[in-house]
Chains A and B, each alone.
Chain A
Amino acid sequence: QSALTQPASVSGSPGQSITISCTGTSSDVGGYNYVSWYQQHPGKAPKLMIYDVNDRPSGVSDRFSGSKSGNTASLTISGLQAEDEADYYCSSYTSTNNLKVLFGGGTELTVL
């Protein structure tokens, strides 16, 4: 099964807001509210930033927010900071075949 579709890269200046999209199908993103977002700095393990489409784990800044419309989910980061520069991956539960988790291809965020 194909991965979820994300833009390869996005950029923004400090203080600005950016949005990363994640497009799937009705069998994954559109069918369930189990969409999550992960942040990964180079050489580090992924970190959960958003789960259940728009919930934040304890300790994650409220500058990070999630949403979903149809088969497309989005991650918005407001008030960009240099430390936000990282790769971001979306993920969704899927009901297709035996596969349980789909990831997006990842988006590289550059803070200018």
Chain B
Amino acid sequence: EVQLLESGGALVQPGGSLRLSCAASGFTFSRFALTWVRQAPGKGLKWVSAITDSGATTYYADSVKGRFTISRDNSENTLFLQMNSLRAEDTAVYYCARAIAGWQLDYWGHGTLVTVSS
């Protein structure tokens, strides 16, 4: 069974940093691209970042480019999102998701809540 389990969400002050993790199991991790998608309270889904199966190529939404870094450890079956210079508008539930062709997302984690507030 495919499972994705996010962790690392917390309350952080504006300007602070946070590192999210997503532990995967039930599939060959190194064969799949992965993404982060966020959802602000009461709002819709927003794509944040993506990384190819090897980790060689990464992509970012304009709103997080230069502040967030996506990475993966294929030996530990774990996806990461390093978030720096956090802003109030980054407050959201962050989901990791497995990508198939065309960056469609076939499995999602349960999400982890990031709250940016003083």
Which of B100, B102, B106, B110 is the most central at the interface, judged by chain A CB atoms within 10 Å of its CB?
Answer: B102
B59 touches A100 (CB 8 A): yes
User: Which of B45, B47, B97 contacts A99 (CB under 8 A)?
Assistant: B47
Query: Which residues of B lie under 8 Å from residue A89 when comparing CB positions?
Result: 44-45
Q: Are B102 and A32 in contact (CB under 8 A)?
A: yes
Nearest Cβ on chain A to B22's Cβ, whole angstroms: 12
Closest residue of A by beta carbon distance from B102: A34
B65 CB contacts on chain A under 8 angstroms:
98
How many interface residues does A have (CB within 8 Å)? 28
Q: Which residues of A contact B47 (CB under 8 A)?
A: 99-103
B35 contact set on A, CB distance < 8 A: 101
For the complex formed, measure the closest distance between the CB of B96 and the CB atoms of chain A, giving whole angstroms.
10
* Closest Cβ neighbor of B100 among chain A residues: A51
A65 interfacial by beta-carbon distance below 8 Å: no
Complex CA gap A20/B21 in Å reads 34
How many angstroms from the CA of A27 to the CA of B42 in the assembled complex? 28
Contacts of B46 in A (CB 8 A): 103
**Chain B proximity mask over A72-112: 1 for CB below 8 Å, otherwise 0:** 00000000000000000101010001111111111000000
Provide 15 A-B residue pairs closer than 8 Å at the C-beta atoms, listed in order of the A residue: A34-B102, A36-B105, A38-B45, A44-B110, A45-B110, A46-B37, A48-B104, A48-B107, A48-B108, A51-B104, A51-B106, A52-B104, A91-B105, A97-B62, A99-B61
